[in-house]
Chain A
Amino acid sequence: MRLDVVLRVATKFMLAPLLLFALYVQFHGDYGPGGGFQAGVIAAAAIILYGLINGLGPVQRIVPVGLLEVLIPGGVLIYVAVGLASMLLGDNFLDYNHLAHDRIHGQEWGVFLVEVGVFLTVFSTMIAIYYAFAGRRRS
């Protein structure tokens, strides 16, 4: 891939906007289409693009397999932890009303945190699937 200057330069230009767009979709999920799932896929696409151009070794230096194995359950853990927090505050599971000083902010915070968990799990699962396929040797 060393000779593909066009691809490498073009990729370099695209990576930052891709990640920025992922964050936009993540935070815009409260007001319009978007959210953790879509943002996770877009961010994972950026990493996978980097992997396609530079190979499996370099991309695994950026996002190591060990990190993925923590992030996949970690995202679900954030989701469950938000639910447990609302139970400890005296509400039902995933009832966000008392997470902040008033109901509206509580709901906003609750959804925001759950979406962060969704983002992490989707992001890392997508990359893990890519690694699993890319890491297969021809037998």
Chain B
Amino acid sequence: MIATHLPVLLILAPLLGAILAALSRNGVAAWLIGLVASALTAAVAFALLWRVQAEGVISYRIGGWAPELGIEYRVDAVNAFIVVLVGIVAVLTMIFARRSVLAEIIPERVASFYTMMLLCIAGLLGIAVTGDAFNAFVFLEISSLSTYTLIALGRDRRALVAAYQYLIVGTIGATFYVIGVGLIYLVTGTLNLGLIVERLASLQSSRGLIVAEAFIVIGIGLKLALFPLHAWLPNAYAYAPSSAAVLLASTATKVAIYLLARFLFTVFGGHIDVGSIAFGSLLIGLSLAAMFLASAAAVVQNDIKRLLAFSSVGQIGYITLGLALANPTGITGGLLHLFNHALMKGAAFMAMGAIVLRTGTAKLDELAGIGRVMPWTAAALTIAGLGLIGVPGTSGFVSKYYLILGALEAGHGWLAILIVASSFIAVLYVGRIVEVVWFREPAAAAREASEAPLEMLLPMWGLAGVTIWFGVHAEWPAGLASAAADTLLRMVP
């Protein structure tokens, strides 16, 4: 019985967990509930992946209503891939969160913090599994509203400003998305992604669809921090509580990228008239701008969390570049980079969370020599940094290799050169961290610190470990990404 309900159980586990955590009103109980709920979520996510690999697309009708009337959850190779990523990150973040939350959140808000974490996870997974454009909007709002709260719970007062900034920008993004969905509903009469694609073939005029594409791309672009729309991201990541930053950096933007890919390739790619207005070339330009400008901005940051946040904007550029190439290798590279980047950025933000716990600061100049007292944490940060550069032997190398192959396949040799060139900017910002952390004499903050507790090191090294493991044995994630890319390009939702 459970097997048929997997797609909805994926949402119910964190949702029910959130309700129980809120009702418990007790920090310890809420953490335990969060841990169990996220572990269940991860288990369901893997079960879904196996079922999709064995049997193909899974469709689930909420309330038993047909897709024409009701909401359909539809899991294929693309969202099974995303769901597994969110599941892995969710459970590791929960393990990591306990100590960091005890130090950063005032006690009576701890239960609400876990409630919001679980709601955010439920919302993100909901966006990933639903096959209904409007239902995706509802889940987008669930995840966004809980994200605003999570950011605002940061101990720095600037967290409130960051949360407010993201609230305004995020609301504009969600509004644009829903306007776009409304226009699609106007021209096709349905909200189900599969039915939209079917009905596009008999469309008289593509004008409504073009306007819808503009609204939806800008709306989701705000959510995924596509280059000129990224202004909310650095402050949000820098001032959010450490464990919230881990969750957001590794999942929130990634799920938004998934949604963009779904719309670009299934809804908008499926119609010939719209295909000619080539959003792809614009996306290539924006991705390149992100890769160079945002990475360059990362080089001059003094706060390591902000540095990593700007690096995220740059790395998102690689992912969208892969999507813009629109050939199987390029999309595989983009999706693989999405997966790898989530894991290594998760490791980096966990390392920063541990450093903030032990020293109380994330400023680069105050953290000189921290590697000598927190070697394991600093090593995980370094491995994640090497992954961000794309050094051979880390997973970042594999995904960039696919991207370069994809660029060459598309006949854009210059793009391949630019991908390599932009990686050198990553060498600069990672190099700054490595130099300060390892090679300088320990500063005051470092002398008083000690190694992070084991319960933080374990999830951190889990992520740092897979960054290396998937750099050497990339078959599993690359296979998943390439299956997802094929599904996207076949233009069947």
Contact = CB atoms under 8 A, between A and B. Distances in A.
Contacts of B1: 90
Contacts of A90: 1
Interface stretch (B55-63, B303-311, B327-335, B387-395): B55-63
B276 to A, nearest CB: 41
B63 A92 contact: yes
Contact of A72 (B8, B15, B22, B64): B22
Contact of A93 (B8, B25, B115): B8
A108 interface: no
Contacts of B15: 76, 80
Given A92-B61, A95-B64, A96-B63, A77 B5 contact: no
A73 B114 CA distance: 13
Interface in A68-91: 69-70, 72-74, 76-77, 80, 83-84, 87, 90-91
A23 interface: no
Contacts of A83: 8, 12
Contacts of A91: 64
A58 to B, nearest CB: 25
A49 interface: no
B12 A69 contact: no
Given A80-B12, A87-B5, A93 B62 contact: yes
Interface of B: 1, 5, 8, 12, 15-16, 18-20, 22-23, 25, 60-64, 115
Contacts of B19: 73, 76-77, 80
Interface of A: 69-70, 72-74, 76-77, 80, 83-84, 87, 90-97
Nearest to A92: B64
Contacts of B62: 92-94
Sort A-B residue pairs by CB-CB distance and give the 5 closest, nearest first.
A95-B64, A73-B22, A94-B63, A93-B8, A73-B19
A97 B61 CA distance: 14
Contacts, number: 45
Given A80-B12, A80-B16, A87-B5, A95 B63 contact: yes
A73 B23 contact: yes
A73 to B, nearest CB: 4
Contacts of A93: 5, 8, 12, 60, 62-63
Given A76-B15, A80-B16, A92-B5, 18 more contacts: A69-B22, A70-B23, A73-B19, A73-B22, A74-B23, A76-B19, A77-B19, A83-B8, A90-B1, A91-B64, A92-B60, A92-B62, A93-B5, A93-B8, A93-B12, A93-B62, A93-B63, A94-B63
Nearest to A77: B19
A83 B71 CA distance: 14
12 contacts: A69-B22, A73-B18, A73-B115, A76-B15, A77-B23, A80-B19, A83-B8, A92-B61, A92-B63, A92-B64, A93-B63, A94-B63
Contacts of B23: 70, 73-74, 77
Contact of B64 (A69, A80, A97): A97
B377 to A, nearest CB: 36
A9 to B, nearest CB: 39
A87 B5 CA distance: 8
B13 to A, nearest CB: 11
Nearest to A70: B23
A97 to B, nearest CB: 7
Nearest to B119: A76
A74 B25 CA distance: 13
A87 B60 CA distance: 12
A28 to B, nearest CB: 22
A84 B60 contact: no
B142 to A, nearest CB: 11
B137 to A, nearest CB: 17
B25 to A, nearest CB: 7
Nearest to B2: A87
Nearest to B12: A80
Contacts of B64: 91-92, 95, 97
B73 to A, nearest CB: 9
A93 B60 CA distance: 9
A70 B22 CA distance: 8
A136 to B, nearest CB: 14
Nearest to A94: B63
A79 to B, nearest CB: 9
